[in-house]
Chain A
Amino acid sequence: MGQRRKVGSTNTPSSQSESADASKVHSRKHNICMVSDFFYPNMGGVESHIYQLSQCLIEKGHKVMYNQSTATTCFHSLPLLRCVFVRERITVVHAHSSFSAMAHDALFHAKTLGLNTVFTDHSLFGFADVSSVLTNKLLTVSLCDTNHIVCVSYTSKENTVLRAALNPEIVSVIPNAVDPTDFTPDPSQRPPDRITIVVISRLVYRKGIDLLGGIIPELCLKHPDLHFLIGGEGPKRLVLEEVREKYQLHDRVRLLGALEHKDVRGVLVQGHIFLNTSLTEAFCMAIVEGASCGLQVVSTRVGGIPEVLPEDLITLCEPTVRSLCAGLEKVIAKQRSGSVPSPTSIHSRVKNLYTWKNVAERTEKVYDRVAGEEVLPLDRRLRRLRSHCGPVAGSLFALFAVLDFLFLLLLRWLAPDRHMDMAVDATGPNGLWKENRKNSDAGC
């Protein structure tokens, strides 16, 4: 326990001290540390959410830095996280995604260090199987003294409140957003003589790729002018390849492999219908992107998806092959008869639904509220853990909290705060970059 292992290059926090006013800390400006295991260059909803949110917050003059890691145990991340928090003068720690081990670590340690915390949950969970029971318990513990929780949809809020046994008042809903300027329709890209269905997701079980494997042959048999365009990579790719070979659909089902975020729009505009087969989803950004590009959206009725788009823009089906096929048939028929709204009209409706500016403003309000709250001292924290998380887990984690605190004292004795150099803010409106180009990171 508490071994100080060498943190290798896998643990490199890509610290991007991007904007600042460090010298005169304004009461409304925060130094925020985003913590998650997921970040660029990987592609996905959580990653782009963190990136876009950070960019918008930086524009508003906050200082945001980012921390990422892949392998963590309970204690060894404390020294490094402490170093980051102290150096960058962090005031609010914002953790993302309940799948991320580092996010939980950071929440736990931030409390030990006396910082306010915010958590954003991006996914839904069940209650039945062993893994979700354990994850839920962990979530209960780490969220029990988190100041505020952000969920991406009302379904997700309901789910999180139930899982983590939270007071619903400290949970707010701030949906994800898409950049409407990135996803504009372009009907000229669509091939005129066929109908194309676009699927863009990671090819994993959670995204319902097995359903897709059932849908493809059935629809392709009925409609000879139907084409599928599938972007993404994953272990379930084999299923699609087998289907393609078995039914000889090489010219009609195209697997594009992993796509970069900038290439997504180019794929989306080639299609008429966007299909989402997810089995569980808190807030589906993909369907918003699809709709923003002017596509007809067909999706499964799971999780937070029904609240994402207005009903006339989306066709919802049950997560079964038959229901999805029926839904798709309906949309294809509509498409053939030409009774669908034009892509530009769809785009103009979706455009103002979800914007990052809005998200950033709402998140800022959360930070403002959180920054005013007091951080529980150790004894009250322990009592709260005991009372909130049940006798066994509560006591166990209370013990962890005490150990963590002792470890922190040890660290403060070994490497006092005054021996750490404060981070120099290189770029930004008040940065030092132009004055004496102190920290030219990439060598110009």
Chain B
Amino acid sequence: MEDEAFSNISGKAISLDCQTHSSFCREFTVSSPKMSIGKVMVYTCSVWLLAYAVFFFTENTAVLSSAILITLTGMMLHIHFVKVDHESLLVIGSLGIQVSSSYASGREVTTFIEMSRIKDIVINEAVYLNQIIYYLCVLLKEPSEPNVVSSVVPLFQSSKPRLNCLAKVYESCQEILSKCQ
């Protein structure tokens, strides 16, 4: 069990937690930084100031209450659907790979991919907005045609770690996969 600090592609600090449950079962957790209070304050204040400015001219109190409502629902939606707290990858040799990401509100989205559908795990390059980044992905195959890559599941989509972090995860994943083949 070790906890290491890395940075993601935009330079923010993230941490990689690598837990070894057994020789063929490892869990990697990439935690993004927590939501900063300052940022929340800035957004909230700006919305409220704007609302107050509108209120100043229109003298309609509904504006103020709606501004409060908007900030609250906005924050809730952000926490529930956008802000990912940590993403984890559970590799269980000969059983499969489980990818899960948990949001700041505690909501968890999990997918399990069976070993019979996994072709390989690779690091690939992609154009992301105006940059080119490396990302880790699982290549899937259909059991009927084992030599064709049918689809690609990108991992750590929201935290986007840099290459040194990806390489570390990649190496230990390959170790398990090669052991269980």
Residue ranges of A at the interface with B (Cβ–Cβ < 8 Å): 4, 6-7, 9, 11-13, 15, 76, 79-80, 83-84, 87, 415-416, 419-421, 423-424, 436, 438-444
Q: Is the CB of A443 within 8 A of B119?
A: yes
Q: Is the CB of A419 within 8 A of B133?
A: no
A7 to B122, CA, bound (A): 24
Given contacts A7-B129, A419-B9, contact A444 B171 (CB under 8 A): no
Q: Is the CB of A415 within 8 A of B127?
A: no
How many chain B residues sit at the interface, stated as a range, is: 20 to 34
- Residues of A near B119 (CB, < 8 A) are 443
A87 to B9, CA, bound (A): 13
A84 to B129, CA, bound (A): 13
Given contacts A415-B10, A419-B9, A421-B9, 5 further A-B contacts (CB under 8 A): A6-B129, A83-B131, A419-B7, A441-B124, A443-B139
Q: Is the CB of A421 within 8 A of B127?
A: no
- The B interface is mostly helix, strand or loop, or mixed, namely strand
What are 14 A-to-B residue pairs whose CB atoms are below 8 Å? A7-B129, A13-B127, A15-B125, A76-B130, A80-B131, A84-B132, A415-B131, A421-B133, A421-B162, A421-B163, A439-B122, A439-B125, A443-B119, A443-B149
- Residues of A near B129 (CB, < 8 A) are 4, 6-7
Least distance between B46 CB and chain A CB atoms (Å): 21
- Residues of B near A76 (CB, < 8 A) are 130
Q: In B110-157, which residues have CB < 8 Å from any A CB?
A: 119-120, 122-125, 127, 129-134, 139, 149
Q: Which of A6, A79, A420 has the most CB of B within 10 A?
A: A420
Interchain CB contact (< 8 A) of B131 among A15, A79, A424, A443 = A79
Least distance between B56 CB and chain A CB atoms (Å): 32
A213 to B122, CA, bound (A): 54
Interchain CB contact (< 8 A) of A419 among B10, B120, B170 = B10
User: Is residue B51 contacting chain A, with contact meaning CB distance below 8 A?
Assistant: no
Interchain CB contact (< 8 A) of B130 among A7, A423, A440, A444 = A7
User: Is residue B38 contacting chain A, with contact meaning CB distance below 8 A?
Assistant: no
User: Is residue B63 contacting chain A, with contact meaning CB distance below 8 A?
Assistant: no
User: Is residue B167 contacting chain A, with contact meaning CB distance below 8 A?
Assistant: yes
Interchain CB contact (< 8 A) of B127 among A7, A416, A442, A444 = A7
Given contacts A415-B10, A419-B11, A443-B119, contact A4 B167 (CB under 8 A): no
A79 to B132, CA, bound (A): 10
A49 to B94, CA, bound (A): 49
Q: Which of B7, B130, B167, B171 has the most CB of A within 10 A?
A: B130
- Nearest first, the 5 A-B pairs at minimum CB distance are A79-B130, A421-B163, A419-B11, A443-B139, A83-B131
- Residues of A near B131 (CB, < 8 A) are 79-80, 83, 415, 420
- Residues of B near A4 (CB, < 8 A) are 129-130
Interchain CB contact (< 8 A) of B167 among A7, A11, A438, A444 = A438
CB closest chain-A residue, reference B163: A421
- Residues of B near A443 (CB, < 8 A) are 119-120, 122, 139, 149
Least distance between B141 CB and chain A CB atoms (Å): 9
Q: Is the CB of A83 within 8 A of B130?
A: yes
- Residues of A near B123 (CB, < 8 A) are 438-439
Least distance between B5 CB and chain A CB atoms (Å): 15
A438 to B122, CA, bound (A): 8
Q: Is the CB of B132 within 8 A of A83?
A: yes
- Residues of B near A84 (CB, < 8 A) are 132
- Residues of A near B124 (CB, < 8 A) are 439, 441
A11 to B131, CA, bound (A): 12
Q: Is the CB of A436 within 8 A of B127?
A: no
Least distance between A3 CB and chain B CB atoms (Å): 11
A372 to B63, CA, bound (A): 65
CB closest chain-B residue, reference A5: B130
Q: Is the CB of A424 within 8 A of B130?
A: no
A4 to B10, CA, bound (A): 16
Q: Is the CB of B120 within 8 A of A444?
A: yes
Q: Is the CB of A440 within 8 A of B122?
A: yes
Q: Is the CB of A440 within 8 A of B120?
A: yes
CB closest chain-B residue, reference A11: B127
Q: Is the CB of B127 within 8 A of A80?
A: yes
